[in-house]
Copies of this chain bind each other. A is one copy, B any other.
Amino acid sequence: MKPDAIVLVSGGMDSCVCAALAQRDRHPAYLHFDYGQRTAAREREAFTAIADHYGIEDRLVIETDFFRLIGGSALTDTRLAVPENGLDESVIPVTYVPFRNAHFLAAAVSWAEVLGAEAIMIGAVAPDSSGYPDCRPEYYQAFNELLRLGTRDGRVRVETPLIGLAKAEIVRLGLELGAPFPLSWSCYQNSAQACGRCDSCRLRRRAFQQAGTSDPIRYATQEGAC
Contacts and interface: CB of A to CB of B under 8 A. Distances in A.
Interface in A132-159: 133-134, 136, 138-139, 142-143, 145-146, 148-152, 154
Of A146, A148, A149, A151, which is in contact with the most chain B CB atoms at under 10 Å from its CB? A146
- Give how many copies assemble into the complex: 2
Contacts of A152: 92, 96, 98, 133
A136 to B, nearest CB: 7
A143 B149 CA distance: 10
Interface string A116-145: 000000000000000001101011001101
A26 interface: no
A199 B208 CA distance: 57
A146 B133 CA distance: 10
Interface of A is mostly: helix
A138 B147 CA distance: 11
Interface residues on A, range: 35 or more
Interface string A80-100: 000000000000100011111
A72 interface: yes
A225 interface: no
